[in-house]
Amino acid sequence: MSLDAKRVRNLREKVCRANLELVAKGLVIETFGNVSGIDRELGVVAIKPSGVDYDDLEPSTIVLVDLEGKRVSGDLAPSSDTPTHARLYREFPEIGGVVHTHSRCATAWAQARRALPCLGTTHADYFRGTVPCTAVMSDAQIGRDYEEETAVQIVDAFRRLDYREMPAVLVACHGPFTWGKDATEAVYHAVMLEYAAELASLAVGINPRIGPAKRALVDRHYLRKHGSGAYYGQGRA
Amino acid sequence: MSLDAKRVRNLREKVCRANLELVAKGLVIETFGNVSGIDRELGVVAIKPSGVDYDDLEPSTIVLVDLEGKRVSGDLAPSSDTPTHARLYREFPEIGGVVHTHSRCATAWAQARRALPCLGTTHADYFRGTVPCTAVMSDAQIGRDYEEETAVQIVDAFRRLDYREMPAVLVACHGPFTWGKDATEAVYHAVMLEYAAELASLAVGINPRIGPAKRALVDRHYLRKHGSGAYYGQGRA
Amino acid sequence: MSLDAKRVRNLREKVCRANLELVAKGLVIETFGNVSGIDRELGVVAIKPSGVDYDDLEPSTIVLVDLEGKRVSGDLAPSSDTPTHARLYREFPEIGGVVHTHSRCATAWAQARRALPCLGTTHADYFRGTVPCTAVMSDAQIGRDYEEETAVQIVDAFRRLDYREMPAVLVACHGPFTWGKDATEAVYHAVMLEYAAELASLAVGINPRIGPAKRALVDRHYLRKHGSGAYYGQGRA
Amino acid sequence: MSLDAKRVRNLREKVCRANLELVAKGLVIETFGNVSGIDRELGVVAIKPSGVDYDDLEPSTIVLVDLEGKRVSGDLAPSSDTPTHARLYREFPEIGGVVHTHSRCATAWAQARRALPCLGTTHADYFRGTVPCTAVMSDAQIGRDYEEETAVQIVDAFRRLDYREMPAVLVACHGPFTWGKDATEAVYHAVMLEYAAELASLAVGINPRIGPAKRALVDRHYLRKHGSGAYYGQGRA
């Protein structure tokens, strides 16, 4: 087996595991949701096939596409959301994995068309501030390449935001996308986003007028886990 | 075994499996809920017996009735909701399965007497727009054949709606009915309706003033999965 | 073994099973909750011991008390709520079992000090109308025999209600009590009350101004399952 | 093995078990949450290591620190919340265990920055009145030793409260801390706080204007289980 073949196999295995982890974490209902991962040197994206039962998922069913979303290997059609994933890889050059779910509370915020405010430290540990919600798409966009336009809306919401410090977005009337350094981390962020969204749903029920946590607290918690001054966990380089 | 006997046996097995699937999906509490399926050529409807534990359900316990809801085979009394099912099969000529549940969130919307607005794509993938809620029954209707009048209210709510694009309804103060091409699909729609209702419950808690998603988005998502232009999944005829 | 000894043993076994069923149905948190049953001919009430883990519950640990709540057999102290149970058996002569829980949604309604309106048929199938909430106890009552006064408040809430058609009550700032013809049915009513309370919590979130279902519908559903004209299930005497 | 070594081993085992109990009770998401216990005679606090998977937790991984939070034994870094635990042990001389979680509903109240009112007896059985919520930290405090300042805020909220009758606090924008006579009881209080917070979330949804339960009722229930007049359970000294 060539070196490249081994790398492709590893990528498929990792993306397959990450898709199954999404199910194990309770973020998937029926066949909704998909995870992809990229090998940037090879220019290859591995992604879940469209509408396939998670029970039937194994590394060989994972589809390979290029950075334009065109299938380069695999018998099955890739996820119908592939153009969104591909565009995000092109726009956000440092990400290695992308996740899309219809998870309960994050989707509810997307349907409510409200950005998810950072109300506390659970949120701030992973997302440095308010998780943005995209604008509703115009009819013209919907009529064009709808899935790619979804990525356009996302990128538009990040004009003044650093995607490396905010690995999540809510697509209005649709649901969340998250990303990370690889597929595994993107799934982890999807889990934390869902939990932050659940806490925030409960909190606005308790106190509808609550505003976001103060900037200093958000930064303190975010930087406890991220960046050169991080001191959470068992040591970092 | 005659051809007809085989078809009846298959229908009973399918309807029995669909009833158990309803339990597996968490849509049943105690003995609430029932699934039926029809063989239109034979003019036979197979339906759950009334008030029987799901643990005791097997194909032989499934009751056969005609299109008027009259029992044609089986030792047990059919579901007390049989007249509703029978009437729906007469009114909606292309449906092959009907489900009734008291599932958590869909029933809550029915009790709140509010139609379920289409707030996003999870909903739009299966239901093309707002899921209607019937009018509250008049005392006169309640005093007549109550279960058949339930179907009358449903049909009334579909005067300007295509039941093939909207396979669900909320019966005011009661709960949801769903349908599909067979019992299996009707159960699938009951699952998706419950999830759409849960997302909408959460969304109105987050933003009480939220309105429905725009028409173009609803159509785009519905038509991604349905009709001649569908492109979701692994290919269709 | 004498006839009476056998009847006592049966009663203990039934009450033990009913207590464990309460756990299985998810209505118990930690050691909260208790079930009792009565043998009216023997004048004996069997009840859960106080503060004992459900894991350690077996028929021999069930305590026997008389109709005044005085222990007549068993090594353990009876539930601290015994005076409430005993008084209910004296006041409601046709009940054979009593259940007290701190189950999630029914307790939330009790804490919100709101009677539980009958919003739909799931509720009406078991409870003929609004489930009452007691008045808050006076300081004088709290200072007297608190547990017996709890029953006094309950009886007071039933001055214009038939306890046989309304086998449940919410004790303000405390939680629900249910009853039935025996301990098993009382547990069943506790399960249905919790579900009705959950549906109503969701419904008032969706539509805060919702009023109760109309009387004709409540009666129709209640009488489908209860009384001489019942036609739900597989036949009754 | 010396006597002290045995006591240290026992403490580590107990603290390890208590951390795992936190997971079993559903109060932990990912690696959030930590439990500590103290041996006051030895002046040693045992605490969970930072950012370690609960699956990998065993007594030998539990870190020992002194009352200033300085590590005295163990290879791993202690929880990043160690300065909060240590300070609480110094300020509250009768506590033997401390728990911090990001549990669902208690955290939502902390994020909503609302003290948790005592709405009923479930709450009053463990917490004698309103569970306080700390003030939001000043930017200056956040910039100093953030974790120790968290304890300062907690102690500040207890200036007019007895920490022995109120073994819980909500840290604004963060989450709950609970304590008890040892790590096991502190976990038990974390479980009961979460349940009380869940009931209260539901209750304010049902009746947004609900006020706290009356003092006499709170005292009666609290004293049923605590102090010299307690009569709940199977006898106390």
Strand ranges of the sheet holding A71-73, from the earlier edge strand across to the other edge: A71-73, A63-65, A44-47, A34-39, A97-100, A175-180, A168-171
Which chains pack against A, by 3+ Cβ pairs within 8 A?
Answer: B, D
Identify the closest residue of chain D to A200 by CA–CA distance. D108
For chain C, give every domain's residue range: 5-226
- In the predicted model, is pLDDT for residue A235 greater than 70? no
CA distance A200 to chain B (A): 9
What is the separation of C-alpha A15 from the centre of its chain, rounded to a whole number of angstroms? Answer: 13
CA distance D64 to B54: 54
Task: Give the tens place of pLDDT for each residue, B10-30.
Answer: 999 999 999 999 999 999 987
From chain D, the residues in CB contact with C111 under 8 A are: 119-120, 199-200, 203, 210, 213
Q: What is the ipTM metric for this complex?
A: 0.94
- In the predicted model, is pLDDT for residue D118 greater than 70? yes
Q: Which of C29, C102, C139 lies nearest to residue D216, judging by beta carbons?
A: C139
CA distance C154 to chain D (A): 16
| Residue percentage of chain D with pLDDT more than 90 | 88
Picking from D105, D118, D122, D184 by the largest number of C CB atoms within 10 A of its own CB, the best residue to mutate is: D122
Which chains pack against B, by 3+ Cβ pairs within 8 A?
Answer: A, C
Distances (CA, A) of B122 to A88, A141, B185, B198, D6: 22, 19, 17, 11, 58
Whether C210 contacts chain D with CB within 8 A? no
Q: Which of A216, A231, A233 lies nearest to residue D139, judging by beta carbons?
A: A216
Identify the closest residue of chain D to A230 by CA–CA distance. D80
Distances (CA, A) of B165 to B39, B84, B216, C93, D165: 21, 20, 15, 55, 60
From chain C, the residues in CB contact with D229 under 8 A are: none
The pLDDT of residue B236 is 41
The pLDDT of residue D235 is 61
| Residue percentage of chain A with pLDDT more than 90 | 88
Q: Identify the residue with better confidence: A29 or D193.
A: D193
* pLDDT band, residue A131 (cuts 50/70/90): very high
- Known catalytic residues of C are 125, 232
- In the predicted model, is pLDDT for residue C237 greater than 60? no
Q: Which of A125, A145, A146, A195 is catalytic?
A: A125
Q: Do B119 and A109 touch (CB under 8 A)?
A: no
CA distance D25 to C24: 16
| Residue percentage of chain B with pLDDT more than 70 | 98
Q: Do A30 and B232 touch (CB under 8 A)?
A: no
Q: Which of C205, C216, C234 lies nearest to residue B142, judging by beta carbons?
A: C216
Task: Give the tens place of pLDDT for each residue, C22-45.
Answer: 999 999 987 789 999 999 999 999
Which chains pack against D, by 3+ Cβ pairs within 8 A?
Answer: A, C
From chain A, the residues in CB contact with D108 under 8 A are: 199, 202-203, 205-206
Q: Which of B195, B199, B207 lies nearest to residue A113, judging by beta carbons?
A: B207
D232 is catalytic: yes
- In the predicted model, is pLDDT for residue A236 greater than 70? no
Q: Do D122 and C102 touch (CB under 8 A)?
A: yes
Q: Do A206 and D102 touch (CB under 8 A)?
A: no
From chain D, the residues in CB contact with A235 under 8 A are: 77
Whether C29 contacts chain D with CB within 8 A? yes
Interaxial angle between packed helices D82-91 and D146-157, expressed in degrees from 0 to 180 and rounded to the nearest 10: 40
The pLDDT of residue D237 is 35
Q: Are strands D97-100 and D175-180 parallel, antiparallel or unpaired?
A: antiparallel
Q: Which of C198, C210, C216 lies nearest to residue B112, judging by beta carbons?
A: C210
* pLDDT band, residue A72 (cuts 50/70/90): very high
Closest CA to B48 of B27, B68, B18, B24: B18
The pLDDT of residue B225 is 86
CA distance D219 to chain C (A): 10
CA distance B1 to A228: 77
From chain B, the residues in CB contact with C198 under 8 A are: 104
CATH topology for C5-226 is L-fuculose-1-phosphate Aldolase (3.40.225)
Q: Do A217 and D142 touch (CB under 8 A)?
A: yes
From chain A, the residues in CB contact with D205 under 8 A are: 205
* pLDDT band, residue B235 (cuts 50/70/90): low
Task: Give the tens place of pLDDT for each residue, B189-208.
Answer: 999 999 999 999 999 999 99
Whether B71 contacts chain C with CB within 8 A? no
What DSSP string describes A33-57?
A: -EEEEEETTTTEEEEPBTT--GGG-
* pLDDT band, residue A63 (cuts 50/70/90): very high
Closest CA to B198 of B35, B25, B18, B32: B25
Identify the closest residue of chain D to A215 by CA–CA distance. D139
Q: Do D139 and A214 touch (CB under 8 A)?
A: yes
CA distance D231 to chain A (A): 35
Picking from B63, B105, B111, B147 by the largest number of C CB atoms within 10 A of its own CB, the best residue to mutate is: B111
Identify the closest residue of chain C to D216 by CA–CA distance. C139
Whether D203 contacts chain C with CB within 8 A? yes
Helices (H) and strands (E) in chain D, counts: 8, 7
Whether B116 contacts chain C with CB within 8 A? no
Q: Do B120 and A173 touch (CB under 8 A)?
A: yes
The pLDDT of residue A237 is 34
The pLDDT of residue C236 is 41
- In the predicted model, is pLDDT for residue C128 greater than 90? yes
Whether A224 contacts chain D with CB within 8 A? yes
Three-state SS annotation for chain B: CCHHHHHHHHHHHHHHHHHHHHHHCCCCCCCCCEEEEEECCCCEEEECECCCCHHHCCHHHCEEECCCCCEEECCCCECCCHHHHHHHHHHCCCCCEEEECCCHHHHHHHHCCCCECCCCHHHHCCCCCCECECCCCCHHHHHCCHHHHHHHHHHHHCCCCCCCCCCEEEECCCEEEEEECCHHHHHHHHHHHHHHHHHHHHHHHHCCCCCCCCHHHHHHHHHHHCCCCCCCCCCCC
Distances (CA, A) of B144 to A66, A200, C118, C124: 64, 48, 22, 18
- In the predicted model, is pLDDT for residue B115 greater than 80? yes
Whether B93 contacts chain A with CB within 8 A? no
Task: Give the tens place of pLDDT for each residue, A151-196.
Answer: 999 999 999 999 999 999 999 999 999 999 999 999 999 999 999 9
Closest CA to C150 of D199, D217, D123: D217
pTM: 0.95
The pLDDT of residue C162 is 97
Task: Give the tens place of pLDDT for each residue, A5-45.
Answer: 999 999 999 999 999 999 999 999 877 899 999 999 999 99
* Inter-chain contacts counted by CB atoms under 8 A, chains C and D: 84
